[in-house]
Chains A and B, each alone.
Chain A
Amino acid sequence: MSVVARLLDAGLGPGRPLRALAASGQLGYGIPEPALREGLARAPHFIGCDMGSIDVGPYYLGAGRLATAEAVTRRDLRLVIHGARQVGVPLLIGTAGTAGAAPHVAQTLDLIRGIAREDGLGRLRVAVIHADADRTWLKAMAAAGRVRALGTALGSPLDAETVDRAAHVVGQMGTDAFIRALRLEPDIVLAGRACDTAIFAAVPIMLGYDPGPATHMAKIIECTSLCCAPGGRDAMLGTLHGESFELESMNPQRAATPLSVAAHSLYEQADPLAVHEPEGSVDLRAARFEPIDARRVRAGGAVWRPAARVSVKVEGAEWCGERAVLLASSCDPRVIEQREAIVAGVRRQVAEILPDAGSEACLLEFRVFGTGATGLFPGAAMGLPEPGEVFFLVECVAPTADLARATVAVAKQYLLHHGFPGRLSTGGNIAFPFTPPELPCGPAYRFSIYHLAECDDLAAAFPVELETVGGG
């Protein structure tokens, strides 16, 4: 009997407790093992892991690479694969390989294949859900006015050139895709780009639980014990009854309190009163949190509002050049005082020697840390004191790696020796912590698509494929 068949056969449903174990909110950074073991001892009905996020920036989606180290990713996958087998339940993994596009899914699947083989796990059925957007479909939807920009920074309407230029384009799948994958009775569901909540809400919804509380619980446990005081990365157990659910961290040092859980509703969310999913949204205006004891909370009151039109969030990243940086510092008060004039002078000299570096296609940025360079809002009142020491991060993003490196190398030499009135530091204006102080960073990417696309056919947007791994 497959693990999914056993789950369907367990007599679960509204009114019966369904135990969801959230093993990791970011698989690949090191799952704390004691809490995972404690979670497995509670006989969960399924195990879920989130493996990605858009928060880490556009590079990973653009370059098709994992943000996590391969060795740690393998370690974490091994822990949850063995854990799920030990208790005989499905394992659901969302946003494979950081960004959930084809290369991320392929690399994660490769790691799973390796583990199945090396550990002699026998045959494992893996249902793979692809999240790469069909560009022809996306362009047609945009042309039909059925794609809208989220915010004002990226173009609306989405134009065909932007879609074509993107290195990778993915859609965020919801519970529908996971449920289709579960119907194939896999041991593991490996999903490309997915809503964090879908990983944990799919099994309850498949079993007939109300999507409102199921999605609310999913939203809280997807970050594991981050909703606790003190917050952490330990496995979290959510027990869904129907209208209400219970939350408990699998690390006894972490307490879920009504305040800590309510506060978590704010985390990385623009709107604490609603959670938007492809198939609908959760209205949290009547949400309530009550203590069961000092470290467990009961929550309820979430209301599911089905979407009038199903829509999918689409993300794309495009290459925008090759990056090189220079790292240097200064503690000379006159250099610090004259920094703006020095930087302007160095810019002029770089443009004279490398006319291409002054072109539109080449970005050259001098960040002087200690003077507010962390600030993102140019007009913000940072309230920083005058620094006694500054750090220069000189960055160039150019059409070629050679030009980027040449630009920061020239900037380095002129920054070192730039003359200015009252200069004492004729040996050099800056210190280099090591050599070479100018470093190539490889390709640079930017998010070019972050739009909401209506979707008439979720099965076509997120196709499922069953693969059997291991078993010689």
Chain B
Amino acid sequence: MATRLVDLARVVRSKNAGPLQITFDLMFTDRAGFEQAAASPALTPREIARLYGVDPATVAVIPFAPAHAIKIVLERPVVAGSPGDSDVYGAQQHRPLLGVVL
């Protein structure tokens, strides 16, 4: 049966990492959940790029085992707080990830 990311993750969050980047943290309760997600074809840079409509070359996916977490880094399309921004802190950009099936 297909597992959704939201069924496995304890935290799915987004936040700026400086005004030019936005970072997403997917955190899992245990090692098994982390490993299942880290191995999923749904969380490759190419799939993340498709989900956010950006160039795959600008996407980094970094598994971080000590925290049972996966970090995703995207470049902000608008510098934080410049006219045209919609989320100065970048804290509400995780929505597209909520539909991901691992």
Contact = CB atoms under 8 A, between A and B. Distances in A.
A271 interface: yes
B19 A271 contact: no
Nearest to B23: A270
A450 B89 CA distance: 16
Contacts of A267: 15, 25
A54 B90 CA distance: 13
Contact of A262 (B23, B66, B76, B99): B66
Interface in B47-62: 51-54, 60, 62
B98 A383 contact: yes
Contacts of A265: 64, 66-67
A363 B84 contact: yes
Nearest to A59: B81
Interface in A348-383: 363, 365, 367, 373-383
Contacts of A258: 66
Nearest to A377: B52
A378 to B, nearest CB: 7
B52 A380 contact: yes
B76 A153 contact: yes
Nearest to B78: A376
B54 A379 contact: yes
Interface in A252-267: 258-259, 262-263, 265-267
Interface string B64-102: 101111010111111111111111111011011011000
Contact of B77 (A263, A376, A382, A446): A376
A437 interface: no
A56 interface: yes
A273 B88 CA distance: 25
B15 to A, nearest CB: 5
Contacts of A154: 20, 79
Contact of A375 (B11, B27, B82, B86): B86
A272 B86 contact: no
A381 B97 CA distance: 9
A152 interface: yes
A101 B11 CA distance: 36
A447 B92 contact: no
B91 to A, nearest CB: 10
A444 interface: yes
Q: Taking chain A's interface residues, is the majority helix, strand, or loop, or is none over half, making it mixed?
A: loop
A378 B51 CA distance: 11
B82 A58 contact: yes
B69 A363 contact: no
A273 B77 CA distance: 25
Interface residues of B, number: 48
A290 B5 CA distance: 28
B22 interface: yes
Contacts of B87: 374, 376
Contact of B52 (A365, A379, A384): A379
B8 interface: no
Nearest to B70: A266
B62 A376 contact: no
Contacts of B44: none
Nearest to A393: B86
Contacts of A259: 67-68
Nearest to A54: B19
A57 B88 CA distance: 6
Contacts of B51: 380-381
A109 interface: no
Nearest to B63: A272
Contact of B64 (A57, A266, A374): A266
A321 B71 CA distance: 36
A54 B18 contact: yes
B12 interface: no
A194 to B, nearest CB: 15
A152 B81 CA distance: 16
Given A153-B76, A289-B66, A383-B98, A450 B84 contact: no
Contacts of A54: 18-19, 80
Contacts of B15: 267-268
Q: Which 7 A-B pairs have the closest CB atoms?
A: A379-B53, A57-B81, A151-B20, A262-B67, A446-B82, A263-B67, A262-B66
22 contacts: A55-B16, A57-B80, A58-B82, A150-B20, A151-B75, A152-B75, A153-B76, A153-B78, A263-B25, A266-B25, A266-B67, A320-B82, A375-B95, A376-B90, A377-B54, A379-B52, A381-B99, A382-B95, A383-B99, A445-B81, A447-B19, A447-B82
Given A54-B18, A287-B66, 10 more contacts: A57-B19, A151-B75, A263-B69, A320-B83, A363-B84, A374-B87, A378-B77, A380-B52, A446-B81, A450-B18
